[in-house]
Structure 1
Amino acid sequence: MTLRTVRRALVGLAAAALTTTALTATASAAPADAGPGHGGHTATQAAMEAQVEAGVPGLLGQARDGDGIWQGSAGVADLRTGRERLPQDRFRVGSITKAFVSTVLLQLEAEGRLGLDDTVEHHLPGLVRGNGNDGSRITLRQLLSHTSGVYNYTEDPDVHAQLSTGFPEHRYESRTPRQLVAVALKHRPDFRPGTRWHYSNTNYILAGMIVEKVTGHPYGHEIDRRILGPLGMRSTSLPGSSPLMPSPHGRAYSKLLSTDPQAPVQDVTELNPTWAWSAGEIISTTGDLNRFYRALLGGKLLPERQQKELTTTVSGGDELPGARYGLGVATVTLSCGVPVWFHGGGIHGSVSMASGTADGRHTAAFNLNGDWSGDPGALLEAEYCGTVASGSGTGEHTAVRKLAALN
């Protein structure tokens, strides 16, 4: 697969996420030498610095491989003070949340408490109906693989306006999961269940509701006791309706989806994430994301049957050129022939990427603290292939942003 095709695929995934002047890059790296297939993480650091030169305020990255842990940064965490980004900084991970939700549902299947071929109607009777929507025809597997056809509520014009130009007015408002689903059900389905692929945050709102129906507990409680606690992910949290970020953290910057290059940069660090809920509310660190992907891909969280279901993929068609989607994770073969599992996550002022090889022995996680520029796909190419490319984040580089956005 060519580098051009790979980057179209990666940007296609990250563009399902939300979608200042260039700063001088700064860098810090913990001692770690050669990574698999290339000499150390020099290319990764260079790719991060290229993102800053292209306009991203700051980046944070961590890689784990057979040689240990490498930590890198570029740019700043705070445009006002100039503070550099710290390895322990928390940030919003957006749609990377989806892998946590799918893992819980797969664990529940392994326990015999539900089946992936159960219908939505079976667990949430009467909820998904009207305008051609029929929960009795949609399975849990189709929710997790984005093949349900249910409309993406963040594509609704009113919601989109609230998340973009109306963000200053609506940033602290709370939404309930049922309200988010109701927005989606005002629209007809995009297609018959199981016939196509289209990224829809509504799928994972429904998945979170099913976790709560089956367990009788908040879905965040199940993530905490099944994943965060056992893995020691002490820097990861689910904020609920709180707009605040736990310390330490930098700032998050956005142009609120404006396509105007001269649009003002706004500080969007504080927001009520209930509009994302189980589709994208988690806060974490690069270290915790690597810990999660290492365990998930390494088979430490799921039995063999459920691990196979996690990584059984469907084509994303023209939306995900060159990539395939499993259950909350996606895969692409990079230009150097290395297959990588990954998911992006985008929410106001934060674009993140979590990734790993199939065995989980080499993982890498990144965060960009601006949502209008940058190329997460270039970071994967740099880390796993040693390829340094431009950080422009335009044109063909828009495919990893698809999965990283929540619009």
Structure 2
Amino acid sequence: MRRTRIAVLAATVVALGVTAAGTAAAGPTGDARDARDTNATAAHAAALAKAAALRKAIDGLPAADATAAQVRYKGEDLRWSGAAGRADLRTHRPVKGDERFRAGSITKTFTAAVALQLVHEKKLDLDGTVQHYLPGLLPAHYPDVKVRHLLDYTSGLPGGDTREAPKSPGWDKGRHTTWDHRALVQAGFGKPMEFTPGTRQHYSNIGYNVLGLLIEKVTGRTYEQELRARVIDRVGLKDTYSPGADPRIKGRHTHGYEAIKASGGGTRLVDTTEWDQSETWASGDLITTTADLERFTAALFAGRVVPQQELKLMFTVPEVPAYGSSRPAAYSSGLTRIQLVKNGPVYWGKSGSRYGYLSGFGATQDGTRSLVYSVNSTDAKGDAATAPDSRIGRIIMAGLGEPSA
């Protein structure tokens, strides 16, 4: 596979203004000036080091693990964006950094934002039940499931198996199947509840697809219409949309590829770009860009998308254990709590994957530091793709990690 030299779109260290000395009476003392100059120099050096680490993390593409990467970082002393690799291996078109991609489960953050707006408007009640809003959707023997349970993954609802497991012989057989939204939700309801609602947390798509149905029921409009009016247009996201049953990605975009074992040994890359995303719908069908995600993150965390009262839920993890383990829950309503090192800073964000695409964003709650990435991983559903020593792991540590880490 041909490699392409990294294309850095922008790498700017924000000037750390060191003013000229004034008179002894009006300006700082020599010691104060020295301390200020030392701090400015250290901050400048740290910004340059971070930019170099981000650049290194995406260098060398295309490679066996990924075909392209797009990254954006924003901090107090640095704004950086870069891209590397090929947007299309067939034409050898280089990625520029403004291409659209499939965002996968990042969609859940957008869906949560719509639902929480409706909670603020009292069109939805956090303690209202699915059985009340959508009678007949859940089996009669299921216990009451509240809106808050859907938002923070504590519903206990079983999800349906809409496609074969990754790397299995039939892994891509459903790529052109269009799912009815209600049928998608009910696909797993032949199974018993996983646990009593509100007692465990199990991350899955089911709750957010039910939220999609709830949004449509209480507004009388489609989920896609509400998402556009309440989030996409409100924030000014010019390259973000829900594709519906269209398997294509409109406009300039990166191609996704999955590495599959070849019959004669080794691996071959399968182009997974065209894929009907109705199998994920309100939990994972969004198409966007890194610039739009950066803009969305800033607006969301600043309270310009979800009112402050409801926004608190997006930064609150329920105090329950994770399903199937003794570990504490890590997900809030639409976000994930991220702490890369013990006693280190806390970030909030969301990741998402579709075949050929692995993306994510993370930021401090006050929005002073943020990272957005999209990597065209050739094993996007594999655990190795997000391991600490993976390309994505290195991107995350370069952007959000501390020097001591």
TM-score by length of 1: 0.81
Match of 1:381 among 397, 401, 405: 397
Q: Is it true that 1:133 corresponds to 2:139 in the alignment?
A: no
8 Å contact 1:254–1:371 — kept in the other structure?
yes
8 Å contact 1:133–1:185 — kept in the other structure?
no
Match of 1:238 among 229, 239, 242: 242
Q: Is it true that 1:342 corresponds to 2:349 in the alignment?
A: yes
Q: Is it true that 1:326 corresponds to 2:332 in the alignment?
A: yes
Residue aligning to 1:401 = none
8 Å contact 1:23–1:55 — kept in the other structure?
no
Residue aligning to 1:86 = 96
Q: What amino acid is aligned across from residue 111 of structure 1 in structure 2? A: E
Q: Deviations over 1:259-278 (max 9, x none)?
A: x9934220011111111100
Q: Deviations over 1:302-326 (max 9, x none)?
A: 2221011221113563779687211
Q: What amino acid is aligned across from residue 400 of structure 2 in structure 1? A: Y
Q: Is it true that 1:302 corresponds to 2:306 in the alignment?
A: yes
Deviation at 1:67, TM superposition (A): 4.3
User: How many residues are paired up?
Assistant: 362
Residue aligning to 1:18 = none
8 Å contact 2:70–2:83 — kept in the other structure?
yes
CA distance in 1, matches of 2:10, 2:300: 25
Q: Is it true that 1:180 corresponds to 2:184 in the alignment?
A: yes
Deviation at 1:89, TM superposition (A): 0.1
Q: What amino acid is aligned across from residue 228 of structure 1 in structure 2? A: I
> Kindly tell me: are residues 168 and 304 of structure 1, through their superposed partners in 2, closer, same or farther at Cα, counting changes over 3 Å?
closer
> Kindly tell me: are residues 198 and 126 of structure 1, through their superposed partners in 2, closer, same or farther at Cα, counting changes over 3 Å?
same
> Kindly tell me: are residues 265 and 203 of structure 1, through their superposed partners in 2, closer, same or farther at Cα, counting changes over 3 Å?
same
Q: Is it true that 1:96 corresponds to 2:120 in the alignment?
A: no
Q: Is it true that 1:151 corresponds to 2:158 in the alignment?
A: yes
8 Å contact 1:23–1:57 — kept in the other structure?
no
Counterparts of 1:8-157 in structure 2, within 5 Å, are 23=3, 26-33=6-13, 38=47, 39-49=49-59, 55-67=65-77, 69-129=79-139, 133-134=142-143, 137-153=144-160, 156=161
8 Å contact 1:26–1:84 — kept in the other structure?
no
Counterparts of 1:193-204 in structure 2, within 5 Å, are 193-204=197-208
SS at match of 2:351: strand
Deviation at 1:358, TM superposition (A): 0.7
SS at match of 2:241: coil
> Kindly tell me: are residues 371 and 202 of structure 1, through their superposed partners in 2, closer, same or farther at Cα, counting changes over 3 Å?
farther
CA distance in 1, matches of 2:111, 2:302: 18
Deviation at 1:65, TM superposition (A): 2.8
Residue aligning to 2:220 = 216
Q: Which has the larger radius of gyration?
A: 2
- The CA RMSD measured in Å over matched residues stands at 2.9
CA distance in 2, matches of 1:319, 1:282: 31
8 Å contact 1:59–1:366 — kept in the other structure?
yes
Q: Deviations over 1:320-356 (max 9, x none)?
A: 9687211010111222812111111111211111111
Q: What amino acid is aligned across from residue 226 of structure 1 in structure 2? A: R
Judge which range, 26-35 or 192-201, deviates more. 26-35
Provide the identity percentage: 32
CA distance in 2, matches of 1:50, 1:133: 52
Q: What amino acid is aligned across from residue 76 of structure 2 in structure 1? A: G
Match of 2:210 among 206, 212, 215: 206
Q: What amino acid is aligned across from residue 340 of structure 2 in structure 1? A: L
Q: Is it true that 1:290 corresponds to 2:294 in the alignment?
A: yes
8 Å contact 2:65–2:378 — kept in the other structure?
no
Q: Which of 1 and 2 has higher RCO (CA within 8 Å, sep 6+)?
A: 1
Q: Counting helix residues as a fraction of each chain, which structure ranks higher?
A: 1
8 Å contact 1:316–1:324 — kept in the other structure?
no
CA distance in 1, matches of 2:225, 2:265: 42
SS at match of 2:88: coil
SS at match of 1:278: helix
> Kindly tell me: are residues 112 and 165 of structure 1, through their superposed partners in 2, closer, same or farther at Cα, counting changes over 3 Å?
same
CA distance in 2, matches of 1:74, 1:386: 24
SS at match of 2:9: coil
Deviation at 1:113, TM superposition (A): 1.2
8 Å contact 1:253–1:371 — kept in the other structure?
yes
CA distance in 1, matches of 2:326, 2:350: 12
TM-score by length of 2: 0.81
